[in-house]
């Protein structure tokens, strides 16, 4: 398996403008792609057998003031996963949809918009709420959102004379 | 608020309670993960029908509503909506630690922490998740509570409607249900 | 005729859990359908960032209620990939046993679940009672009926109790006799046959378009697209089993594949009983230091396994601290439960909605998280 993955990685490296690549396990590798080249990369990967989009998600890199978009593709023939990563700006985040390459992306993008506030141009339905209803705060999966504060503000807690809250080695959970 | 347990029913209400306690219809609404223990409770192994209970599809003909675990705000709107559609007398049994104080989701932004602020709860079952034996035990307790006239959460809801409504609106902002076409 | 707006669920006996499909119907035919997830949203992905790697063990089984063990497995597997830890041989076999028992339990329940929307409740009653026998075994092994928290990073929580393999083998004997009766009662029943045959089709191009995995994918493509075969984890490369496939995907085919997979699970379990090492440790440490506050090396990994509904994965990002930086969950039923319903429930009948969810395998808690 390692062999076919090396072949694929070499092939990908030749064709695409890969900023950085990383071998994660013997069935999985990750590539960093420029923001502008993602569509080309996904189209190419789809044409060489990565036909299934497993998930689109986002990581909030608050220290670098960036969002990292993650596209994970699955190659069923060879049993390989590829993780395509790209960085976008954290202030006023927006990106272009990949629905025309992978139609299954529609709801993943809608979820990323709901949880991180990234807008996807070209996917009109991504602006609608999906899992949440009447949300009135910043998108909940951003790192600067504190669910405890939100929960204390919105939902009443049961009064109790004893509060059991674990404290392990000084880290308050 | 504490639900008072005074028995000031008249004779006909006592007779009515006696009969209704022996034929309880359970509303078929799986609000949370505790619902996975309901099929074993309903079917042949634990057999809820021994207690004269059966599942009922519509809220208008159901007597007891089971809140099977955590409630997200989105579900709570539906729960209130369909609780208000049920006919009196109606009872609520709450499952698991999530309905008591939030359980493992104590700091979640999407789930409520204390159910009895929003709708009156007649009976809590502790545990995550309650075993079918515990569920059966709770049903037997509910039946004896109804016979003694202690399960009067629905009356409490009528008498303190403003208090409940205010709590609901504080947490939910509105209890109206919209469709998902977003048109 | 005028189109009518209809809410199917969340409070509806035909619905799978707390889920809703809202539709416009013309007579009996669905003209437009929209799935409505989110009733079970608890914000897991946020909560996991706020708990220790160890503390998350209590959370993760609750993501998918009907089949919790797959969550423990992907989580543990992901952490082991990040920490580059090799777990003891016996733990691999115990994990496989737990996973296959879980698959048996959910497949039996799913097979019985066909009884609900088609109105043959005897099947449901049988299946639930049969599944309870497996839950009893789970209780003996792990101490809990539904949420086991048994597969932990670094192996499994404790050794198997004495005599459990004999009990499992007796149960398998019983299942092998009982499950064919389901076929006689259910799948050969003329009403169910008529209801499922040539109904709720899933063409092959839809599989790739929507991204459906699992039974739906294998029933349409005629290929053995099963992560247990394609990317063997645990010790699936050391046991023999077949992956049932078909090239014509109507509801009946998918149920039949589910039926065949039960026997393959039994076959795997028999080999596990035979080949499992008798002696040996079952758990190893992920990192040095305090038992609760262990750290996972920085990195990111996508860990996926084959659940009963398809590819189930966690995307785990660690920054080398005591808590995960980000965990994203790919629920196996995400594509068919959302885009699949929106696009391909159109022109079906109203009562096909619950059959779609049943035969394709839609589990609402893992969509909502």
Q: Which of residues 16-75 of C touch B (CB under 8 A)?
A: 17-18, 20, 22, 32, 34-36, 38-43, 46-47, 50, 58-59, 62, 65-66
For residue C29, the model assigns a pLDDT of: 87
- Number of Cβ atoms within 10 Å of the Cβ of B119: 22
pLDDT above 70 as % of chain C: 99
In this predicted structure, the answer to whether residue B1 has a pLDDT above a threshold of 70 is no
Least confident interval from A20-29, B5-14, C170-179, C277-286: B5-14
Report the residue from B31, B43, B110 with minimal CB separation from C128: B43
C263-293 confidence digits (pLDDT tens) = 999 999 999 998 888 888 888 877 777 767 7
- Three-state helix/strand/coil letters over chain C: CCCEEEEECCCCCCCCCCCEEEEEEECCEEEEEEEECCCCCCCHHHHHHCCCCCCHHHHHHHHCCCCCHHHHHHHHHHHHHHHCCCCCHHHHHHHHHHHHHHHHHHHHHHHHHCHHHHCCHHHHHHHHHHHHHHHHHHHHHHCCCCCCCCEECCEECCCCCCCHHHHHHHHHHHHHHHHHHHHHHHHCCHHHHHHHCCCCCCCHHHHHHHHCCCHHHHHHHCCCCCHHHHCCCCCHHHCCCCCCCCCCCCHHHHHHHHHHHHHHHHHHHHHHHHHCCCCCCCECCCCCCCCCCCCCCCEEEEEEEEECCEEEEEEEEECCCCCCCEEEEECCCHHHHHHHHHHHCCCCECCHHHHHHHHHCCCHHHHHC
A109-163 confidence digits (pLDDT tens) = 888 888 888 888 888 877 888 888 888 888 888 888 888 888 888 888 877 776 6
**Beta pairing, strands A80-89 & A66-75:** antiparallel
Q: CA-nearest residue of chain A to C44?
A: A141
Mean pLDDT score, C337-356 = 84
Q: CA-nearest residue of chain C to B109?
A: C43
**Residue with more model confidence, C266 or A9:** C266
For residue A164, the model assigns a pLDDT of: 65
User: Distance between CA C180 and CA C194 in Å, rounded?
Assistant: 20
Report the residue from C211, C300, C302 with minimal CB separation from A52: C211
- Domains plus CATH for chain C? 4-368 (1.10.645.10)
Q: Where are the domains of chain B?
A: 25-172
- C139 in Cβ contact with C211 (< 8 Å): no
Contact: C223, A57; criterion CB under 8 Å: no
Q: Which of A67, A76, A150 would best serve as a mutation to test chain C binding (most C beta carbons within 10 A)?
A: A76
For residue C315, the model assigns a pLDDT of: 92
Mean pLDDT score, B139-148 = 88
Q: Is A150 an 8 Å CB contact of chain C? A: no
Contact: A131, C45; criterion CB under 8 Å: no
Pick the CATH number of B25-172 from 3.30.70.3280, 3.40.50.20, 3.30.565.10, 3.40.50.12280: 3.40.50.12280
Contacting residues of C for A59, CB less than 8 Å apart: 300, 317, 325-326
**HSE (side-chain half, CA atoms, 13 Å) at B75:** 30
Q: CA-nearest residue of chain B to C366?
A: B33
Report the residue from C39, C58, C146 with minimal CB separation from B104: C58
Q: Where are the domains of chain A?
A: 2-172
Mean pLDDT score, C312-326 = 88
Contact: B110, A132; criterion CB under 8 Å: yes
Mean pLDDT score, B148-172 = 85
A53-68 confidence digits (pLDDT tens) = 889 999 988 888 889 9
For residue A173, the model assigns a pLDDT of: 47
The answer for C84, left when phi > 0, alpha when psi is -120 to 50, beta otherwise, is left
A73-116 confidence digits (pLDDT tens) = 988 888 888 899 998 888 888 888 888 888 888 888 888 888 88
The chain-wide mean pLDDT, for chain C, equals 86
Query: Which CATH fold would you assign to the domain A2-172?
Result: Beta Polymerase; domain 2 (3.30.460)
Q: Is C10 an 8 Å CB contact of chain A? A: no
State the DSSP H helix or E strand holding residue B156, giving kind and residue range, or none if neither.
Answer: helix B153-159
């Amino acid at each position: 398996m390692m062999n076919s993955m090396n072949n694929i990685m070499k092939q990908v490296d030749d064709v695409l403008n890969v900023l950085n690549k990383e071998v994660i396990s013997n069935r999985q590798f990750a590539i960093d792609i420029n923001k502008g080249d993602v569509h080309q990369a996904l189209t190419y990967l789809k044409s060489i057998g990565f036909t299934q989009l497993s998930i689109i998600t986002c990581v909030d890199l608050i220290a670098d003031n960036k969002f990292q978009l993650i596209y994970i593709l699955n190659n069923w023939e060879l049993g390989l996963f590829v993780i395509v990563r790209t960085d976008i700006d954290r202030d006023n985040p927006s990106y272009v949809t990949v629905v025309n390459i992978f139609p299954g992306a529609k709801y993943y993008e809608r979820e990323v918009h709901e949880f991180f506030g990234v807008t996807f141009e070209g996917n009109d339905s991504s602006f609608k709420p999906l899992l949440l209803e009447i949300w009135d705060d910043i998108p909940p999966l951003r790192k600067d959102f504190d669910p405890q504060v939100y929960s204390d503000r919105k939902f009443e807690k049961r009064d109790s004379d004893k509060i059991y809250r674990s404290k392990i080695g000084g880290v308050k959970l | 608020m504490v639900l008072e347990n005074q028995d000031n029913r008249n004779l006909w209400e006592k007779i009515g309670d006696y009969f209704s306690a022996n034929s309880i219809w359970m509303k078929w609404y799986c609000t949370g993960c505790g619902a996975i223990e309901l099929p074993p409770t309903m079917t042949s192994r634990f057999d809820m029908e021994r207690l004269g209970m059966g599942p009922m599809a519509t809220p208008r003909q159901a007597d007891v509503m089971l809140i099977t675990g955590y409630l997200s705000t989105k579900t709570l709107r539906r729960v209130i909506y369909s609780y208000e559609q049920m006919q009196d007398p109606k009872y609520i049994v709450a499952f698991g630690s999530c309905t008591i104080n939030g359980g493992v989701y104590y700091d979640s932004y999407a789930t409520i922490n204390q159910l009895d602020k929003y709708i009156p709860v007649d009976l809590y079952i502790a545990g995550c998740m309650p075993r079918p034996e515990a569920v059966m035990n709770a049903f037997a307790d509910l039946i004896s509570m109804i016979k003694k006239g202690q399960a009067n959460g629905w009356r409490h809801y009528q008498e303190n409607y403003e208090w409940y409504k205010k709590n609901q609106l504080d947490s939910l902002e509105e209890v109206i249900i919209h469709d998902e076409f977003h048109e | 005729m005028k189109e009518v707006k209809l809410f199917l669920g969340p409070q509806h006996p035909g619905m799978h859990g707390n889920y809703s499909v809202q539709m416009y119907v013309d007579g009996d035919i669905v003209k437009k359908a929209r799935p409505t997830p989110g009733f079970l949203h608890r914000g897991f992905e946020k909560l996991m960032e706020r708990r220790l790697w160890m503390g998350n063990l209590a959370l993760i089984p609750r993501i998918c209620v009907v089949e919790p063990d797959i969550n423990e497995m992907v989580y543990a597997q992901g952490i082991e990939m990040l920490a580059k830890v090799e777990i003891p041989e016996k733990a691999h076999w115990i994990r496989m046993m737990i996973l296959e028992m879980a698959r048996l339990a959910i497949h039996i329940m799913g097979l019985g679940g066909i009884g609900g929307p088609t109105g043959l409740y005897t099947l449901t009653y049988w299946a639930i009672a049969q599944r309870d026998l497996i839950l009893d075994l789970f209780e003996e092994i792990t101490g809990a009926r539904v949420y086991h928290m048994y597969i932990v990073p670094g192996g499994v929580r404790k050794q198997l109790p004495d005599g459990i393999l004999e009990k499992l083998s007796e149960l398998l004997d019983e299942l092998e006799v009982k499950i064919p009766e389901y076929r006689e009662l259910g799948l050969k029943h003329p009403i169910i046959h008529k209801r499922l045959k040539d109904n709720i089709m899933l063409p092959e191009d839809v599989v790739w378009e929507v991204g459906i995995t699992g039974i739906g994918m294998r029933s349409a493509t005629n290929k053995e697209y099963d992560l247990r075969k394609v990317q063997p984890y645990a010790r699936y490369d050391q046991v023999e089993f077949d992956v049932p496939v078909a090239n014509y995907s109507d509801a009946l085919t998918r149920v039949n594949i589910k039926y065949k997979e039960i026997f393959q699970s039994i076959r795997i379990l028999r080999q596990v009983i035979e080949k499992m090492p008798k002696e040996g440790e079952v758990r190893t440490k992920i990192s040095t230091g305090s038992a609760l506050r262990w750290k996972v090396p920085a990195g990111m990994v996508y860990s996926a396994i084959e659940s009963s509904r398809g590819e189930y994965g966690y995307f785990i990002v660690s920054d080398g601290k005591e808590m995960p930086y980000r965990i994203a969950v790919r629920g196996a039923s995400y594509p068919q439960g959302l885009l699949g319903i929106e696009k391909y429930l159109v022109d079906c009948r109203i009562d096909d909605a619950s059959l779609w969810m049943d035969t394709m395998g839609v589990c609402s808690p893992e969509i909502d998280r």
